[in-house]
Chains A and B, each alone.
Chain A
Amino acid sequence: MTQSSEATGGLSSVPALLQRNVREFGGKAAYREKEFGIWQSWTWAEAEKEIEALALGFINLGVNEGDFIAIIGRNRPHFYWSMVAAQSVGAVPVPLYQDASAEEMAYVMEHCGARFVVCQDQEQVDKVIEIQDGLHQFEHMIYVDPRGLRKYDHRALHRFVDIQAQGRAAYYEQIEELKARREKLTYDSTCVMLYTSGTTGKPKGVVLSNRNIIETAKNASEFDGLNAGDEILAYLPMAWVGDFIFSLGQAYWTGFCTNCPESPETMMTDLREIGPTYYFAPPRIFETQLTNVMIRMEDASKFKKRLFDVFMAHAKKVGPAILDGKPVGLMDRLKYKLGELMIYGPLKNTLGFSRVRVGYTAGEAIGPEIFDFYRSLGINLKQLYGQTEASVFITVQPDGEVRADTVGVPAKGVEIRIEDNGEIYYRSEGTFVEYYKNAESTASTKDPEGWVATGDAGFFEPDTGHLRIIDRAKDVGKMADGSLFAPKYVENKLKFYPDILEAVLFGNGKDRCVAFINIDLTAVGNWAERNNIAYASYQELAGHPKVLASIQSHVEEVNKSVAQDEMLSGCQVHRFVVLHKELDADDGEMTRTRKVRRVIVADKFKDIVDALYDGSSEISTVTEVTYEDGRKGSISATLSIMDAKVQAVTTQKVAAE
């Protein structure tokens, strides 16, 4: 790559990369956003002007070096500009989850002591106003969308475009100051601070330096051969490290274009229109898309359905092999070509994946069938394993060595060590600086030599050198009889069924396992419609006898498959319950990145867990729920507890005594 020659010469910060991009790709699109039904675009040169105006506006408003600027909004060019503008003036951008509750926001803003907030609209402005009394350092708020805000007190509230206009007006007064501050930035200055969602405890502020971000972006871009011609769709939460690396780190390193959807609801349409070449999504998105395809195929005519089934079966057989460049017979290749013409091509186009060269999934394990579905279509979907603390990349799968059950080899520049207890440690240029104002956690996570504990247990496959993750180290436990308890393994198998959205397995220290199950409203709702089953609410549908029966059959299938694994055959699900509400981040049951918080779930639904173990056939329960606007209510339900057939355990139990 051309960039590697100039490696880090003068390019020691994101604002410096911006200047480089203006010189090298000035007339090329840097940002696009769909607004008013049309894709609006900004070249690198135009984006630089926007960022400069905003940075001048920041100085004008009194932003000092070292200040924290909280950024709350969905993926829009304005917020990416805000982050780079903040860096340009020596401040630290802190992106927050826009759907965070007021309390979560208050905690983070108080913790970092943000003096300024840049946010999207009235909803966030209201949230910040609600919490501002508790924030001693908070001073000014800047919003992008003025709707509904006209009558607000504007002494400390500013429109984004006004700040930019003030910045432009103050150009001659402040430009020297801006340049001076920009030049002071080094490889060790803080690039961004991201709060980890945390499956336990309070969020921690992960400080990432320019070195972390730029080195990681550089290595990852070279690994996949990304260049200025690539396109991505930025739709994942801006507070998540992945979005920061892809939409900012790699975009600035390689100069590719970041496209922002019109609204979260139009994401699928926008994806199709943009046709990204580099794509990233958590497993859930791929699951949802696959579910939608399957639902729509159910509605297709008999002929089309048959065509789809025949060619998909063929794709499953030879697709992944063709993608990996392995030998495949001529007839199979020809049939695959025909399938490409008739089914795979149009299907990829509908999904928006026609141009994807490199696609990644991470965050959670992906069901092998889901993974293979996309790969069989010829989409180069790969897995990576990462963490906020590592600036994402720990391991990645190289092209041609992709499998559903591993997470690949160590990423460029990453060293990995596995402790005796199976816990994975890593060290790299991307390794975070510290947890902000939390020396204790920093010390317990990162040792003086720079090794970081991931908290995940895993091992390297001897023959391939690929890393396999077993589970979160702290989630892996022992059953009462001493056999291994690895909840993720079973949950992932359950979640593969389209009508199961989420599953939580219990059984650590017990004699048998039980499970909570959330139905997928889209899939089950569609099924109900098809079968003329009327329902008034999620709760009613979740408790419908036919739904319970079909979930039961899935659980029994999973038990059969779990029983095959000698190590984990003890994890079969003996009893389960279909929950009356979806596990939700607003209720604290999941993180904002939708990972189940086991301890909280076990505690909150203790009565149900107890009922699963004491043999009762149903349980009445009252659950507190939090509405989107923060109000609380409760729902009560009587849930029937289902038994599932388990397979005889194949290995002989070792007597404990």
Chain B
Amino acid sequence: MNDMSTEGYTTEDGRKIGGTLMEMKNITLSFGGVKAITDISFDIKEGEIRAIIGPNGAGKSSMLNVISGFYIPQQGEVWYKGEKRPQMKPYEVARLGIARTFQNIALFDGMSVLDNVMTGRLNHMTTGLFAQGLWKGKAEAEEVENREKAEKIIDFLEIQAIRKTPVSRLPYGLKKRVELARALAAEPSLLLLDEPMAGMNVEEKEDMSRFILDVNDEFGTTIALIEHDMGVVMDLSDRVVVMDYGKKIGDGTPDEVRNNQAVIDAYLGVSHD
């Protein structure tokens, strides 16, 4: 029923990438007279790390918000796991297995790291408010099971030492990591990262890059990310979509994108050699 190519490919480092997980078809999004996104199509394949880059105001975050269901495009279709996705609320999208982090950290400041990560498990809990209030039998068993999952993530991201620390007391770089933990706790099939390295120093960036690669490797999570740091993007991602003024001007492997004249002119600057 879908006409897109569902073939996978093998990356340079030998990872097997599966068929298409998500496909954006001719998306157009405008706010009043302002066109944020104009007729953009691209796909995200299972198991890959897909980057969306572009100068400020290119429409990257809007694109991510379309994927996460926060914005509803005026035109175009979003296909997910081989089906056309109807209009949905963001929480319904989350239940489909799409989790995200935010450019400006959106954690629950007064809550501990552990509790924040546990909120990521919300969609995996079935007992009601009353049962959880009593915390007996099934509700208790469920909590234990979810705590275990949350603890595995905490272990994975090496944030054991701050498990009980209120988020508001953490430095910026760690908050970003906690946000990633919360998103991972949802066990997403698709993870959206909005500028995961923004405002970080070199060491924090290296850590975060390693975690992103490890998440992809260990859990097989498909990752779509927006990032400004070109070095990071080119190192991390398998394929890159380049946007400028709401239009797609390039799409391909980091090498292809790097050598694409339109991209060089628009974003990377003209090379001097």
Query: Which residues of A pack against B, CB within 8 Å?
Result: 35-38, 147-148, 150-151, 262-263, 265-266, 269
| Residues of B with C-beta under 8 A to A262 | 160
Among residues of A, the one whose C-beta sits closest to the C-beta of B163 is: A37
Rounded to whole angstroms, the CA-CA distance of A262 and B155 in the bound complex is 9
User: B160, A265: Cβ atoms under 8 Å?
Assistant: yes
B156: interface (CB < 8 Å) = yes
Known: A147-B214, A148-B214, A151-B14. A266 touches B151 (CB 8 A): no
Instruction: Report chain A residues within 8 Å CB of B14.
Output: 151
User: Which of A36, A148, A266 is close to B217, meaning CB atoms less than 8 Å apart?
Assistant: A148
Within 8 Å of chain A (Cβ to Cβ): is B89?
no
Flag whether B265 is at the interface (Cβ < 8 A).
no
Question: Residue B160 contacts which of A147, A151, A263 (CB distance < 8 angstroms)?
Answer: A263
Can you list 24 pairs linking A and B with CB atoms under 8 Å apart? Answer: A35-B155, A36-B151, A36-B152, A36-B154, A37-B114, A37-B147, A37-B160, A37-B163, A147-B156, A147-B214, A148-B214, A148-B217, A148-B218, A150-B217, A150-B218, A151-B13, A151-B217, A262-B160, A263-B160, A263-B161, A265-B160, A265-B161, A266-B161, A269-B161
Answer whether residue B148 sits at the interface, using C-beta atoms and an 8 A cutoff. Answer: yes
Give chain B nearest CB distance to A76 CB in angstroms: 13
Contacts of B151 in A (CB 8 A): 36-38
User: What's the A-B contact tally at a CB cutoff of 8 Å?
Assistant: 34
B158 interface residue, CB < 8 Å from A?
Answer: yes
B219 to chain A, nearest CB (A): 11
Min C-beta distance of A202 to chain B, whole Å: 32
How does the 8 Å CB contact mask read for B204-229 relative to A, with 1 for contact and 0 for none?
00000000001001100000000000
Shortest Cβ gap from A626 to chain B (Å): 15
Q: How far is the CB of B102 from chain A (nearest CB, A)?
A: 26
Tell me the bound Cα distance from A514 to B148 in angstroms. Answer: 56
Known: A147-B218, A148-B218. A263 touches B154 (CB 8 A): no
Residues in chain A near residue B13, CB distance under 8 A:
151
Q: CA of A38 to CA of B151 in the docked complex: distance in angstroms?
A: 9
Query: Shortest distance in angstroms between B142's beta carbon and chain A's nearest beta carbon?
Result: 17
Residue of B nearest to A266 (CB): B161
Closest to A122 in B: B214
Bound together, the chains give a CA A262 to CA B147 distance in angstroms of 17
CA distance A400 to B114 in the complex (A): 45
Alpha-carbon gap, A38 to B154, bound state (A): 12
Residues in B whose Cβ lies below 8 Å from that of A263? 158, 160-161
B121 nearest CB across to chain A (Å): 14
Residues in B148-181 with C-beta less than 8 Å from chain A: 148, 151-152, 154-156, 158, 160-161, 163
Please name the residue on chain B nearest to A36 by beta carbon.
B151
- Chain A residues closer than 8 Å to B152, beta-carbon distance: 36
When C-beta atoms are compared, the residue in chain B nearest to A38 turns out to be B151
**Contact across chains for B161 and A37 when beta carbons are under 8 A apart:** no
Inter-chain contacts of A265 with B (CB < 8 A) = 160-161
- Cβ A266 vs Cβ B160 within 8 A: yes
A263 to B151 Cα, complex, angstroms: 14
Residues of B in contact with A (beta carbons under 8 Å apart): 13-15, 114, 147-148, 151-152, 154-156, 158, 160-161, 163, 214, 217-218
Could you say which residues of chain A place their CB within 8 Å of the CB of B158? 263
Residue of A nearest to B15 (CB): A151
Residues B218 and A37 in contact, CB atoms below 8 Å apart: no
**Could you say which residues of chain A place their CB within 8 Å of the CB of B161?**
263, 265-266, 269
Residues of B within 8 A of A151 (CB): 13-15, 217
Q: B148 contacts which chain A residues (CB < 8 A)?
A: 36
How far, in Å, is B184 (CB) from chain A's closest CB?
A: 14
The interface residues of chain B lying within 8 Å CB-to-CB of A38 are 151
User: How near does chain A come to B157, taking the closest CB pair, in angstroms?
Assistant: 11
- Say how far B94's CB is from chain A's closest CB, in angstroms: 25
Measured CB to CB, the closest approach of chain B to A545, in angstroms, equals 26
Q: Chain B residues near A266 (CB, 8 Å)? A: 160-161
Contacts of B154 in A (CB 8 A): 36-37
Contacts of B147 in A (CB 8 A): 37
Distance between Cα atoms of A151 and B160 in the complex (Å): 26
Complex Cα–Cα for A269 and B161 (A): 8
Docked Cα-Cα span, A175 to B262, in Å, equals: 69
**A297 CA to B156 CA in the complex, in Å?**
34
Q: Shortest beta-carbon distance, A656 to chain B, in Å?
A: 55
Residues of A within 8 A of B155 (CB): 35-36
Within the assembled complex, what's the spacing in Å between the Cα atoms of A262 and B158? Answer: 10
Cα(A562)–Cα(B58), bound, Å: 68
Q: How far is the CB of B34 from the nearest CB of chain A, in Å?
A: 40
Chain B: minimal CB distance from A554 (Å) = 30
**What chain B residues lie within 8 Å of A37 (beta carbons)?**
114, 147, 151, 154, 160, 163
CB distance from A143 to the nearest CB of B (A): 15
A262 to B218, CA, bound (A): 21
Nearest chain B residue, comparing its CB with the CB of A146: B218
CA distance A38 to B160 in the complex (A): 11
Chain B contacts for A269, CB-based, 8 A? 161
- Which residue of A has the minimal Cβ distance to B161? A265
| Cα distance A263–B15 in the bound complex, in angstroms | 31
Residue of A nearest to B114 (CB): A37
Distance between Cα atoms of A263 and B13 in the complex (Å)? 31
Report Cα–Cα, A622/B214, bound state, in Å: 37
Residues of B within 8 Å of A35, CB to CB, are: 155
**B143 to A: closest C-beta gap in Å:** 13
Minimum CB–CB distance for A262 against chain B, Å: 5
Bound: A357/B218 CA distance, A: 45
Of listed A37, A38, A269, residue having the most chain B CB within 10 A: A37
Chain A residue with the shortest CB-CB distance to B164:
A269
Within the complex, what minimum Cβ distance (angstroms) separates B43 from chain A? 25
Smallest Cβ distance from B140 to chain A, in angstroms?
15
- A38 CA / B214 CA spacing, docked (Å): 24
Q: Give bound CA distance, A38 to B148, whole Å.
A: 10
Q: Smallest CB-CB separation from A267: which chain B residue?
A: B161
Complex CA–CA separation, A500 to B155 (angstroms): 34
Interchain CA distance A265-B159 in the complex, whole Å: 9
Which of B158, B160, B214 has the most CB atoms of chain A within a 10 A radius of its CB? B160
* B123 vs chain A, min Cβ distance (A): 21
Contacts of B217 in A (CB 8 A): 148, 150-151
Nearest Cβ distance between residue A90 and chain B, in whole angstroms?
Answer: 35
Q: A36-B148, A36-B152, A150-B217 are in contact. List 6 more A-B contacts (CB 8 A).
A: A36-B154, A37-B114, A147-B218, A148-B214, A151-B14, A263-B160
Q: How far is it, in angstroms, between the C-alpha of A150 and the C-alpha of B155 when the chains are bound?
A: 18
- Cα A476 to Cα B148 with chains together (Å): 57
Return chain B residues, CB-CB under 8 Å to A147: 156, 214, 218
- Minimum CB–CB distance for A95 against chain B, Å: 23
Max chain B CB contacts within 10 Å: which of A36, A148, A150, A263? A36
Closest B residue to A35 by beta carbon equals B155
